[in-house]
Structure formats: structure tokens, C-alpha cells
Structure 1
Amino acid sequence: MAERYSSFTPGGTRWFLQRVTAAFLVIVLAFHFFLLHFVNHAYEVSFLGTQARMQNVGYLLTMVLFLITATFHGVNGVYNALVNQGLEGTQKKAVLAVLVVVSVGLVAQGTYVALTMNGMI
């Protein structure tokens, strides 16, 4: 039988955050699908409707947290998958740096769009 290998240290911070973000994403994704596919059908979603939803501070904060959490969860998962495949040394540091820069850019752009839709910018 093959031995199980993971770059996550069981009980470590990254391991814990991966589980917490997964649980949060399941809840917020269910909320998202319910709101935008059952309460408002996809063909009813419009720019003005999005602006109206973003006026609600709770909705705005939820969507920004959704963005941050999904970005962290995805990037952390990709990084650890690459480490599990044998990424090490300088390549590991370079990949981590690129992923961090791209993540910060994604979160900054998404937050900017959310704040613009809210009318704060």
C-alpha cells in the first residue's frame, strides 16, 4: 500500500486554515447560489441589481471575505499540490513569490470592484 504524503503538517497553521476556509466557502457558496440562482434567477441578475446588493454592508463584507477566502484556499491548495509533487529549493520560493503577488493583485482588484459597485470609490 502506498504511503500517504502531504506537505501540510497535520495540525499546522496552513492545514488548519485550509479546513476553516473550506468550511467558510461551503457556507458562503451555498448562500451565493441560493441568492443568485433561486431568489434572483441568473437571467435577472443585472449591473444595477449588483450595485443595489453591494449597498448592503453585510453583503459587501461577505463578498469581500468570500474573495479573500477563496483566493487563499485556492492558492494554498495549488502551492501544496506543487510541493507534494516535489517542488523544492529556488523553484519553490519563486512559485511562492509569484502566487503571493498574483493573489494580492486578485484580492486588490476584486476589492476595488466591490467598493466601486458599493459607491465608496
Structure 2
Amino acid sequence: MAERHSSFNYGSTLWFLQRVTAAFLVVVLAFHFFLLHFVNHAYEITFAGSQFRMQQLGYFATMILFLGTATFHGTNGIYNALINQGIDGTQKTAAKWILVVAGVLLFVQGIRVALAFTGV
């Protein structure tokens, strides 16, 4: 029988955050699909409608939280997948900092886009 190997230490902060962000993402994705695929159909979605939604504080805050959790969840997941593949030493350090920089850049660009939608 294969031995279970994971870079996550069960019960650690990163282990916990990976699960919390996954749960949050499932809820927000369900909200997204319900709102933008069932309440409003694809052909009804317009730039003006998207801009209106982003001007609503609750929706804006939800999308910023979605951006932050998705960025963390994705970069943390990639990092741990790389560790599970056996990288260590300099490769591990380089991967960590590349993913940190990529995550920050992605988050900043997402904030810029969100603010552009609000007209700020």
C-alpha cells in the first residue's frame, strides 16, 4: 500500500488556511454561478451591468475577498505540489519567492481592475 505523503503538516496554519480558503471559494463560486449564469444569463451580462455590480459595496468586498483567497489558495497549492514533487534547497526557496511575487502582482492587478470597474 502506498504511503501518504504531503508537504502540509496536518493541523498547521497553512494546512488550515488551505482548507478554509477552499470552503470559501466553493461558496463564492456557487454565488457567482447562481448570479451570473442562472439569475442573469450570459447574453444579458454587459460591461455596464458588471460595472454596476462592482459599485455595490457588498459585491465589491466579496470579489476582493474572492481574489485574495483564490490567489492564496492557488499559489499555496502550487508551492505545496512542487514540494510534494521533491524540490528542496535553492529550488524550494526560488519557487517560494517566485510564487509570492506572482501572487502579489496578481492581487495588485486584480485590485486595479476592480477599482477601474467602480470608476475610482
TM-score of the superposed pair, with normalisation by structure 2? 0.98
My pick for the range that moved more, 8-17 or 38-47, is 38-47
Aligned-partner residue type, residue 91 of structure 2: Q
The secondary structure found in structure 1 opposite 2:2 is coil
Gaps of 5+ in 1: none
- The offset of 1:115, in angstroms, is 1.1
- The offset of 1:104, in angstroms, is 0.3
Correspondence for 2:9: 9
Give the Cα separation in 2 of the matches to 1:44 and 1:76.
Answer: 35
1:42-74: CA deviation from partner (whole Å, max 9, x where unpaired): 111111110000110000000011011011101
Give the Cα separation in 1 of the matches to 2:77 and 2:54.
Answer: 29
Correspondence for 1:72: 72
Correspondence for 1:109: 109
**Residue 35 of structure 2 is aligned to residue 30 of structure 1:** no
Give the Cα separation in 2 of the matches to 1:96 and 1:71.
Answer: 14
Give the Cα separation in 1 of the matches to 2:30 and 2:59.
Answer: 14
The secondary structure found in structure 2 opposite 1:10 is coil
Question: Number of residues paired by the alignment?
Answer: 120
TM-score of the superposed pair, with normalisation by structure 1? 0.97
Q: What's the RMSD between the two structures over aligned residues? A: 0.6
Gaps of 5+ in 2: none
The secondary structure found in structure 2 opposite 1:2 is coil
Structure 1 runs (4+) greater than 4 angstroms displaced: none
Matched residues, percent identical? 68
